[in-house]
Copies of this chain bind each other. A is one copy, B any other.
Amino acid sequence: MDELQAVQWKDGKVLILDQQKLPNELVLLSISDYKNVVNAIKALNVRGAPAIGIAAAYGVVLSVWHLGDGDRAAFLETANQAINDLKKSRPTAKNLFWALEKMRLVLSNNLNRPLNEIRRVLLENARRIHQDDIQRCKKIGEHGAGLIAIRSTVLTHCNAGALATGGYGTALGVIRAAEDKGKKIRVYATETRPLLQGARLTAFELMEDDIDVTLVCDSMVGYLMQKNMIDAVVVGADRIARNGDVANKIGTYSVAVLAKQHSVPFYVAAPLSTFDFDLKSGEEIPIEERHADEIRQIGSIQLAPEDVAVLNPAFDVTPASLTSAIITEKGVLKPPYPDGIDKLKINS
């Protein structure tokens, strides 16, 4: 999967692997205006909480990379404008705001240096966010693999893989690490309507890595669990509140209820950059509502009456009580969470 990076910085451009086109086409978007990074995040050309944080960080670099050195005020204003625009690209994933806050701090700590040096430290910082994320994923994988028994069948929802992160993946990182330890994992991937990240990205990623994967519809999770075909669920997260409530792709909550009902362990894999210590509970997490046509159409094909009313929340919130553990780069948190999660704050 090394060549399939969700986001790269190259020669003064942000390269984004267009995840709306995968797996049918490998299209690399070469972006030289940060506003198109905003657009790529909005349009889900890049998606996955850690990956959009990384894309946003490079977007800030891009906003000032091609500016002249003459006007310091314009330079700083552009960088701040980019941070603000990128912040508004999507509302739910914490990693976006976390990465942009890191970029804002670097900017404000280096305000008086030559503009070229500011560019350099911004790029260094974006690269660090990117590289750190890969390392965090690998540590998540290490910690999580210990929870997965040999010859387990694991269900995952949406894509929390290499394509959703700097590389390696969170939920898929756990699966990869378990597989690397010779545990012979079998995976059921839900297709994840409406945008089919499971069908298009998770199935694709796992097949590329020769991991045994079977695709099912989202509605088949209950059937699989009723027939005792699932040993564990591992999903990623877009934002985790202080009490351990988890916002993740719509449908995650249904999977968690079904897992609880069938005594299947339900694991969430996420770096600390996903945690929002300012939020007491998941009820405070803003849930993005996306366009009705995501459900009414696929490509040029009309799936439903053109004018049918649609509700299209992109995420839901799984209460901490339905999770068996949250797997982070610092280790595995088990419920009850509040103390443990608050202590993590110092390390994040």
Specify which chain B residues have a CB less than 8 angstroms from the CB of A196 in the assembled complex.
Answer: 303-304
Report the bound CA distance from A222 to B248 in whole Å. Answer: 13
Known contacts A191-B193, A216-B311, A254-B221: A226-B304 contact under CB 8 Å = no
Q: Taking the complex as formed, is A305 at the interface, i.e. its CB lies under 8 A from any CB of chain B? A: yes
Expressed in whole angstroms, the minimum distance between the Cβ of A263 and any Cβ of chain B is 13
Q: Which of B254, B301, B316 contacts A298 (CB 8 A)?
A: B301
Q: Taking the complex as formed, is A243 at the interface, i.e. its CB lies under 8 A from any CB of chain B? A: no
> Which of A41-49, A113-121, A207-215 lines the interface with chain B?
A207-215
* Contact residues of A between 307 and 348, Cβ < 8 Å to B: 307-313, 316-317
Question: Mask for A188-224, Cβ within 8 A of B = 1, else 0?
Answer: 1011111010011001100100001111111111111
Contact between B309 and A213, CB atoms less than 8 A apart:
yes
Contact between A226 and B214, CB atoms less than 8 A apart:
no
Chain B, Cβ-Cβ closest to A310: B215
Q: Taking the complex as formed, is A144 at the interface, i.e. its CB lies under 8 A from any CB of chain B? A: no
Expressed in whole angstroms, the minimum distance between the Cβ of A300 and any Cβ of chain B is 8
Q: Taking the complex as formed, is A31 at the interface, i.e. its CB lies under 8 A from any CB of chain B? A: no
Chain B, Cβ-Cβ closest to A216: B311
Report the bound CA distance from A305 to B254 in whole Å. Answer: 26
Report the bound CA distance from A309 to B299 in whole Å. Answer: 23
Q: Which of B188, B258, B304, B313 contacts A203 (CB 8 A)?
A: B304
Known contacts A191-B303, A301-B298, A304-B203: A217-B218 contact under CB 8 Å = yes
Specify which chain B residues have a CB less than 8 angstroms from the CB of A316 in the assembled complex.
Answer: 220, 222-223, 226
Q: Taking the complex as formed, is A24 at the interface, i.e. its CB lies under 8 A from any CB of chain B? A: yes
Contact between A310 and B194, CB atoms less than 8 A apart:
no
Question: Mask for A259-296, Cβ within 8 A of B = 1, else 0?
Answer: 00100000000000000000000000000000000011
Expressed in whole angstroms, the minimum distance between the Cβ of A218 and any Cβ of chain B is 4
Known contacts A200-B303, A301-B298, A304-B191: A254-B217 contact under CB 8 Å = no
Contact between A23 and B193, CB atoms less than 8 A apart:
no
Chain B, Cβ-Cβ closest to A186: B309
Q: Taking the complex as formed, is A302 at the interface, i.e. its CB lies under 8 A from any CB of chain B? A: yes
Known contacts A251-B217, A251-B220, A316-B222: A191-B295 contact under CB 8 Å = yes
| A residues lining the B interface (CB < 8 Å) | 23-24, 188, 190-194, 196, 199-200, 203-204, 207, 212-224, 226, 250-251, 253-254, 257-258, 261, 295-296, 298-299, 301-305, 307-313, 316-317
Could you show 23 A-B contacts with beta carbons less than 8 Å apart? A23-B305, A191-B295, A199-B303, A199-B304, A203-B304, A203-B308, A204-B304, A204-B305, A207-B308, A213-B308, A214-B308, A214-B310, A215-B310, A217-B218, A218-B219, A219-B250, A222-B253, A222-B257, A223-B250, A223-B253, A226-B317, A254-B254, A261-B261
